[in-house]
Chains A and B, each alone.
Chain A
Amino acid sequence: MQHDNKRYVERDRDWHPAAYTPGYKTSVARSPSQALVSLQAPSVSELTGPDFRRLRMGPHDNDLLLNYREDPALAGAAGLPVGERIIMFGRVIDQFGKPVPHTLVEMWQANAGGRYRHKKDAYLAPLDPNFGGVGRCLTDDQGWYRFRTIKPGPYPWGNGINTWRPAHIHVSVMGPAISTRLVTQMYFEGDPLIPICPIVQTLNDQEAVETMIGRLDMARSRPMDCLAYRFDLVVRGELQTYFENQ
């Protein structure tokens, strides 16, 4: 088979959060109690995945300042969302530093006040009539992606008595195969809520936390317009195997 000479670097499951992390209460009943079964010989089932180059994107799919209008009459015209205008950008690379081109990066987030445009979010901070909170794009030839958005606000949630999420943007990346599939969250450099968040604290290793922090990048900001945060995504490294079954 064409794909079976490929492998991905083993996922370090001590680096990633464990399934059972009682500080994050929902994980208690949603974590398997049995060990994962390791597939010793990954097959074409795991070594392939969807290629989204032919998914037709809208012109503002990666621009959250323009891609939502409660009043369609305002589409493309006035009515910008309230909040800190930012560019969020970065590169998708693998563990060997190789760019991952033409891969789908999706993101979703709350508005500037920490409220999600989701029918289940009942937080008292109001919705913004000009903000939806969803974006997607494909990385370019060199693995770069780019969104324009509003910096999300922190919000409270029913975990402890007074638990707040740091400002974050949910990020989903496919990579070249279902083996590289990853969903994470980007946090913002310097946010004092990061070290006290039970979801961040599902990680044991401070260095792993660092992989989730977007960095202020003044060089990519636009004077008198918006700031920029850089967030690179590292997916599992692709290995070629030459001596299988011999």
Chain B
Amino acid sequence: MLRETASQTAGPYVHIGLALHVAGLPERDEEIWSQMARPEAEGEPIEVVGTVIDGNGDLVRDALLEAWQADAQGQYRPEFDLHKPFNGFGRTATTAEGGSEWSLTTIKPGAVTRGDGKVMAPHINLAVFARGINIHLQTRLYFEDEAETNAACPVLNAIESPARRQTLIAKREEVDGKVRYRFDIRLQGEGETVFFDF
């Protein structure tokens, strides 16, 4: 069997390649970016925002994040097409400006049933790439207002420490009548986000 090509950090200028306008480059006709759902998409429209924080408590201002989620029915829809109202895949970045928040405009995903019949609570799969991260970090965002399904989620329950499970729960906020979830990713140290191997 062949060995997998080795990973390397995405480096400080990842935006040139994967987030052109953040680098200051003109965008192409179609870009993969943070609006995963348009208003007419089926499901509850939500915004997901957060920061990325390093082991010193400082903001990581050059991260790129990728999201992968099911639709409102809990089905993954691989076909990426900007003409569709909803795509399960999106990208976002933190930048040097302001509070350095990433954000995604999407819909709340439905619960997904695993092959063994167990139901996983609604979640968004997130991958974090940045300078200083040698191989991307994989995590999941869950929703605070899904307490019951979260408590039964086989993936959350696979995390030995109940306190650490809490690092995967996004907090619900309402801003101007819109639902927003806040999910800060702590790379290291106190409140360190759980990262997965799969």
Instruction: Contacts A37-B195, A118-B16 known; list 13 others, CB within 8 Å.
Output: A16-B135, A17-B8, A24-B132, A27-B133, A30-B131, A36-B197, A37-B197, A38-B196, A45-B76, A48-B76, A51-B78, A182-B4, A211-B3
B113 at the interface (CB under 8 A from A): yes
Per-residue B-contact encoding for A163-191, CB less than 8 Å = 1, 0 else: 00000001010000011011111000000
When A11-B4, A50-B88, A134-B17 are in contact, do A45 and B120 touch as well, CB less than 8 Å? yes
Interface residues of A in 18-42 (CB under 8 A from B): 18-19, 21, 24-34, 36-42
CB distance from A89 to the nearest CB of B (A): 15
Per-residue B-contact encoding for A81-122, CB less than 8 Å = 1, 0 else: 000000000000111110000000011101000001111110
Most buried by B among A3, A15, A50, A107: A50
The reply to whether A39 and B195 contact each other, CB–CB distance below 8 Å, is: no
B116 at the interface (CB under 8 A from A): yes
Residues of B within 8 A of A (CB): 1-18, 20, 23-25, 28-30, 32, 54-56, 58, 60, 62, 66, 68, 70, 76, 78-83, 87-89, 96, 112-116, 120, 123, 125, 127, 129-138, 140, 154-155, 158-159, 164, 187-189, 192-198
Q: Which of B6, B12, B192 contacts A34 (CB 8 A)?
A: B192
Per-residue B-contact encoding for A211-243, CB less than 8 Å = 1, 0 else: 110000000000000000000111111000000
How many residues of A are in contact with the other chain, CB < 8 A?
A: 92
When chains A and B are docked, how far (Å) is the Cα of A182 from the Cα of B127? 11
When A170-B10, A178-B127 are in contact, do A45 and B4 touch as well, CB less than 8 Å? no
The reply to whether A32 and B188 contact each other, CB–CB distance below 8 Å, is: yes
Q: Chain A contacts of B155 at CB under 8 A?
A: 39, 43
The reply to whether B28 and A245 contact each other, CB–CB distance below 8 Å, is: no
| Closest Cβ neighbor of A135 among chain B residues | B17
Residues of A within 8 A of B (CB): 1, 3-5, 9, 11-13, 15-19, 21, 24-34, 36-46, 48-58, 61, 93-97, 106-108, 110, 116-121, 132-134, 170, 172, 178-179, 181-185, 199-200, 202-203, 207-209, 211-212, 232-237, 244-245
The reply to whether B134 and A27 contact each other, CB–CB distance below 8 Å, is: yes
Which DSSP category, helix, strand, loop or mixed, fits chain B's interface?
Answer: loop
The reply to whether A202 and B120 contact each other, CB–CB distance below 8 Å, is: no
When A26-B131, A34-B194 are in contact, do A170 and B4 touch as well, CB less than 8 Å? no
When chains A and B are docked, how far (Å) is the Cα of A29 from the Cα of B52? 12
CB distance from A130 to the nearest CB of B (A): 14
Most buried by A among B159, B192, B198: B198
| Closest Cβ neighbor of B23 among chain A residues | A118
The reply to whether A12 and B87 contact each other, CB–CB distance below 8 Å, is: no
Q: Which of A34, A50, A235 contacts B5 (CB 8 A)?
A: A235
The reply to whether B132 and A30 contact each other, CB–CB distance below 8 Å, is: yes
When A41-B115, A50-B80 are in contact, do A234 and B4 touch as well, CB less than 8 Å? yes
The reply to whether A212 and B17 contact each other, CB–CB distance below 8 Å, is: no
The reply to whether B80 and A54 contact each other, CB–CB distance below 8 Å, is: yes
| Closest Cβ neighbor of A133 among chain B residues | B16
When A30-B55, A36-B195, A43-B114 are in contact, do A19 and B79 touch as well, CB less than 8 Å? no
The reply to whether B4 and A50 contact each other, CB–CB distance below 8 Å, is: no
The reply to whether A50 and B89 contact each other, CB–CB distance below 8 Å, is: yes
When chains A and B are docked, how far (Å) is the Cα of A202 from the Cα of B154? 34
Q: Which of A4, A29, A96, A97 contacts B114 (CB 8 A)?
A: A4
When chains A and B are docked, how far (Å) is the Cα of A11 from the Cα of B3? 9
| Closest Cβ neighbor of A51 among chain B residues | B78
CB distance from A160 to the nearest CB of B (A): 15
When A29-B56, A95-B3, A118-B15 are in contact, do A49 and B78 touch as well, CB less than 8 Å? yes
The reply to whether B4 and A31 contact each other, CB–CB distance below 8 Å, is: no
The reply to whether A172 and B3 contact each other, CB–CB distance below 8 Å, is: no
The reply to whether B23 and A30 contact each other, CB–CB distance below 8 Å, is: no
When chains A and B are docked, how far (Å) is the Cα of A87 from the Cα of B114? 44
Instruction: Please list 30 pairs of residues, one from A and one from B, whose beta carbons are closer than 8 Å in the complex, sorted by A's number.
Output: A3-B115, A17-B8, A26-B9, A29-B132, A30-B55, A30-B131, A31-B133, A32-B193, A33-B188, A34-B164, A37-B158, A38-B198, A41-B116, A44-B76, A44-B112, A44-B114, A45-B112, A50-B79, A54-B79, A57-B30, A108-B17, A118-B13, A134-B17, A178-B68, A181-B136, A183-B10, A183-B136, A199-B9, A202-B9, A244-B115
